[in-house]
Chains A and B, each alone.
Chain A
Amino acid sequence: MTGIRDKVGKGKTRLPHVSRRSILVGATAAGGLAVAWALWPRAYGPNLTAAPDEHVFNAFLKIGDDGHISAIVPQCEMGQGVTTLLPQIMADELGADWRTIAVETAPISPIYANTLLVDEDSATFTPRSGVPDAVQDVRSWVRREWAVRNAVMLTANSSSVRMFEGPCRDAAAQARALLMKAAARRWDADWEECDTQDGFVTLGTKRLRFGDLAAEAATLDPPAEPVYRASSADPLYGKELTRLDLPAKIDGSANYAGDIRLPDMVYAAIRQGPLGATRLKSIDRKAGMASPGLLHIVTHERWIATVARNWWAANRALDRFAPTFETEGAPISNDMIDAALVAALDGDGYRVASKGDVAEAMEGRRQLTAEFLVAPALHASIETRTATAAPDGDGIRVWVATQAPTQCRDAIARATGLPENAVTLFPMMAGGSFDACLDHSVAVQAAIIAREIKRPVQLAWSRAEEIMRVAPRAPARAKLSATLNAAGGLDALVTRIAVPSTNHEVRARLFDNRPADEAQRASVGRPDAAAVEGAAARYAIPHFAVDHCPADIGLPTARWRGNADSYTAFFTECFIDELAARAGTDALSYRMAMLGDAPLLARCLLTVTSLGGWEGGLAGTAQGLACHSMRGSHIALMATARQSDRGLQVEQLVAVVDAGRLVNPAVARQQVEGGLVFGLAAAVGATTDYEGGVATARKLHQLGLPRLSQCPEIIVEFVDSDRDPGGLGEVGVPVVAPAIANAMFAATGRRIRRLPLSAHPL
């Protein structure tokens, strides 16, 4: 297992691994790691609190006199297992006993800024092509500085391990060095001769518990550079350890924002009216006030909230108030959305990526084209938006699941007129999210209500509010045009995608606190490379171009598990399948011929077809393929699906994934399985129509989400790899719809070009 350790770290100029003591890793390459290390501990000291018998080593680790180790996790646990993965990395480097690991959520601090995500996100915003390296370096530095200063602790884009493996390992290495120094003092030995194992510092036959050394060790000075532990015979990294959060998730004791119980706490329900620039117009105060159990009513220019001793009574009272709303402008509807997408596709766009010369390559040649249409996709997490808020002297305390705690706190401060330091945020686990917890409306609303009624309150959105008011992933319409070479292979490909400028909206909401409708209007017409991310396929195509055609659909849109890749992979992988069929070539060989520059993806594809028993994609086989790369990971999927009298039947999904080295293969497998099921849901449903400014769906069953009986057999295999870890949360999502659509073509001979899957023509 030494291979795993040798590859750890981000420094490009690292020395070869010789022995534990001879390694001095220079984390000098620009990256979050270098920033964090250089700033410890002076510029931004850890702002952790510790119990009297607990000692703070750095921003990621505390060790108790009793030997317990508290790992600090600066990411939101939404089911992706981050509260196991980051502690596992730290325990491994520290040489701790896994059974002594406890987990704490990080406080807000610049130390925990997710600089990787900000950097990647900005890179898609302002594409790097054409910008000189020097300029690019300065821009990157500025972005990272901004992220650090503003403590942008985002959880998103499958970045938790990619961003924090380095800092966590460094923090553990630092703590380990301090423990060894303290032990060496007692033994009058050279600290670098010591080692750690199972929660002890060792030297020959001598050993001392971490707990016995912690108080002294925490006062010592760490070495200038992290000194990493040599490989152990039984490393924790790479082990299928049981997730730390599971015991609490099987006995009902895991607390989400809605499980907080405070003395004198009451329960609130809310109604917010149609999407768009909406104002609360009137309520039936007389009927409402007579509602049984009603304690308070709080009205706001955009919503009404009722408060009672239980949530059901509060929600019932809302009906009796019969609130009416008025909305400026034309109400959002399916027709309006479709018309905007069509208009955008016909209009000008921004060329976001290009290679070769598509215009020349296509000049005078026969073009093959296909159009695709994708409906908005809902997050539909089972936990609806929920927050608990309690007045705290002049300030406020708020319990909520958030993927951006600093921005959540700032939004609450702005809305309540409080200074930021008067807002105390308790980040909770999320019951799903899928990026819905990048929106902070519910936390702001709960804080406003608590301050108005001057008592602790818990606000939960009803399912109907959740369906109607959580902005969905954007709908999109695309036109793909190709010209072929003499052998039927792709010579030129132009992918034009009409889709809203979602990431401008998200930024305006997240960082500038703008209401969704204002953020939507301000984003209109702006180029957004992230909105077409993943469209520049990994295939070696001599000439290709990707255009973003910004669509003003009126409907606010949001990030979502898989983001733009969830539709761009559908366009590309379905279109490639069409071209292969037209060329009379097996969909596997057609892809493989173009994957010479993408050996990792090619290997996934070859492995999945041999594992799944690919029969050449002939008519009647009901097998379909798709492959995709995102966030440093690669996936190939083989689906078996057919049309039966009960509708679409997906019988099997076989996936092969290369996500680099795996911190915890069991958690990795969960993530890919989960991504596939999420992708399956989006392939068959997870959407709503819009009429009169609101979603037409009000109940969960209208979203057509799959249940156990509709879940196909799922087989997931990982490619052995010692590459740096790739992201795992999203990579399973994008391939599902195209693989099923391609399988349906093999089964029925009909092309499906819309999501949710439907053979209905556009």
Chain B
Amino acid sequence: MAQTSRLFHIIRIAFAVIGALVVLFLFLNHSEQLDTPLMDYFTADFFAQTGAQNSVAAIYLNYRVFDTLFEALMLMVSVMEVINVSWANKHAEKYQFEKDDFNRKGNSEIVVRMVGIIYPFVLLIGLYIIVNGHVSPGGGFQGGAILATALITRYLVYPNFDLDLHALEIVEKILFLSIVMTPVLYVFMQIQPADTTISHQIYMVAMNSLIGLKVFSGLSIIFYRFVFYEGR
């Protein structure tokens, strides 16, 4: 029995190594350069067409906005799954925290002080990346992740469960509705003013802010659920 399992182990290792070697060999020797019509189309005149100087933002907010819609749906579905398919829902009595024990559990003084200093700057750079996402590297996804990092550092300093996750979930659903409605009205149905130079910018900033807040609330809900409900 042990002999066969050992043999299977070696076979699996050999399978992974041979697969990697075959793919690497094919990639290095037989990969061909394809034309890039999508890149040529997207980088030709994206500033005049979409109002974004960052062509990645132009793609995921204007050219391929369907991707963003379904990504937002996917994140919301996963958040709903994390909240609803959880053992802690039906067995809430097992999840009472000892508050005095939980308060400042094992946090070093250095971490607490330094995070307290860094905290507003993390918030600031998150908001900066969200708002300037269409003219510089950044965007809603990255800025939202940084804002969620700010909340996670808050957990390091102040590990208490005083956040209303239910309200945050409702906020996320409303944000998802706005994320769906804004491109549908503005991009698909073309409800735009005649001169679109300013309205394109407004659309970019608004969509980046909505996506950033949605990613922020989604990641925070996932993090706090995992820390306080799935933690044992």
Co-complex (A, B): no
